[in-house]
DNA sequence: GCGCATTAGATGCATGCGCACGTAAGTTCG
DNA sequence: CGAACTTACGTGCGCATGCATCTAATGCGC
């Protein structure tokens, strides 16, 4: 098999795995918790951060969203009461984003869903395949 | 490290790799050949197929698109003259999709771009990292 | 202090996507 | 044959995204 073909095969497998996972995540998170994958990602990062609040910029660095998409995702979360924005006093162009109590709770509810989806898709259980 | 954390880390790495690759592919294919990643995927599958024409359904099985998204992607390709649709005589609900000469040529032009992007992203060259 | 470039974030716009549904063709059962 | 069901594909709609651009705040040179 040529290197080209190996490369294409690798890419297809990557795309397959990503599509299967993101698709399942999107559906489960939406149906069971009313949030999308991007929104969960934001909430999850906030919940896992050392600080209680993060700058938009810090979020943008770790989430797979363009700056504009992140701005809108945070806007949606804010509309749903899961995060709140606060001005940054040091640099008044900046915006801090922090989880609300409702946001923390929603994250606590949704995280097990995410983990179980990940486990199911990334660790094809109940099979003897050594992968 | 807990299994949960390992799972989350694995998912993040998968998402990172996918995002980097698809993003670069999308940009390069668009800028240099005027087609998107999904459209290239369709053309690539057609070019690599044993038959000269495929049913929408066959395409839908291998491409990471919903049936409706595929329908529109093929419509775009048809508008650009890269594929043509033909009725299936055996099952007149069905639609065959085939590459045109222009489509074959565009594919021949775009494939090297795709391969070089894949090589660059999936095989982080000029580095001693063993992966 | 006053312009000018830069940076942080928001937004108009065009586009692609999935969902739900519509239409047409095939199939099944009586 | 004919009614009900299923399948294959197209389409209206709402939504999320990226790009380009806008606004506001900061910093820099003078």
Q: Specify the pLDDT at position A127.
A: 52
Q: Is pLDDT of B130 > 50?
A: no
* pLDDT tens per residue, range B26-53: 999 999 999 999 999 999 999 999 999 9
* pLDDT tens per residue, range B88-120: 999 999 999 999 999 999 999 999 999 999 999
Of residues A8, A19, A64, nearest to B19 (C-beta) = A64
Q: Is pLDDT of B126 > 60?
A: no
A31/B111 Cα distance (integer angstroms)? 39
Residue with tokens 């979020």: A59
Structure tokens at B128: 């001693």
* pLDDT tens per residue, range B52-88: 999 999 999 999 999 999 999 999 999 999 999 999 9
Q: Specify the pLDDT at position A126.
A: 58
Strand D bases near protein CB (under 7 Å) are: 7-12, 16-20, 24-27
Q: Is pLDDT of B3 > 90?
A: no
| B95 Cβ contacts chain D strand, under 7 Å | yes
Reference A117, options A42, A37, A11, A13; nearest CA is: A37
| Buried/exposed code over B94-103 (b: 16+ C-beta within 10 A; e: otherwise) | ebbbbbeeeb
Chain A 31-90 residues whose Cβ is under 7 Å from strand D: 36, 38, 64-69, 72-73, 76
Considering only CB atoms, which chain B residues are within 8 Å of A11? 21, 118, 122
Domains, chain A, with CATH or none? 3-121 (1.10.10.10)
A11 and B17: CB-CB below 8 Å? no
Distances B35 to A51, A65, B128 between C-alpha atoms, Å: 43, 22, 34
Q: Given CB atoms, is A11 within the 8 Å cutoff of chain B?
A: yes
Which of the four pLDDT bands, split at 50, 70 and 90, describes residue B19? very high
Q: Specify the pLDDT at position A131.
A: 39
What's the Å distance between residue B74 CA and nucleotide C30 C1'?
Answer: 41
Q: Which stretches in chain A have pLDDT values below 50?
A: 130-131
A18 and B16: CB-CB below 8 Å? no
| Torsion from C-alpha of A109, A113, A114, A115, nearest 10 degrees | 110
* pLDDT tens per residue, range A66-77: 999 999 999 999
Q: Specify the pLDDT at position B124.
A: 77
| B12 Cβ contacts chain D strand, under 7 Å | no
Which of the four pLDDT bands, split at 50, 70 and 90, describes residue B16? very high
């Amino acid at each position: 098999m040529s290197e080209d073909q190996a490369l294409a095969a690798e890419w297809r497998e990557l795309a397959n795995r990503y599509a299967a996972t993101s698709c399942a995540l999107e559906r489960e998170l939406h149906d069971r918790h009313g949030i999308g994958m991007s929104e969960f990602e934001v909430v999850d990062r906030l919940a896992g951060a050392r600080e209680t609040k993060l700058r938009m910029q810090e979020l943008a660095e770790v989430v797979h969203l363009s700056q504009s998409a992140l701005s809108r995702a945070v806007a949606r979360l804010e509309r749903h009461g899961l995060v709140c924005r606060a001005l940054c006093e040091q640099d008044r162009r900046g915006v801090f984003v922090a989880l609300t109590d409702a946001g923390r709770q929603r994250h606590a509810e949704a995280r097990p869903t995410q983990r179980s989806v990940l486990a199911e898709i990334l660790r094809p259980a109940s099979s003897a395949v050594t992968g």
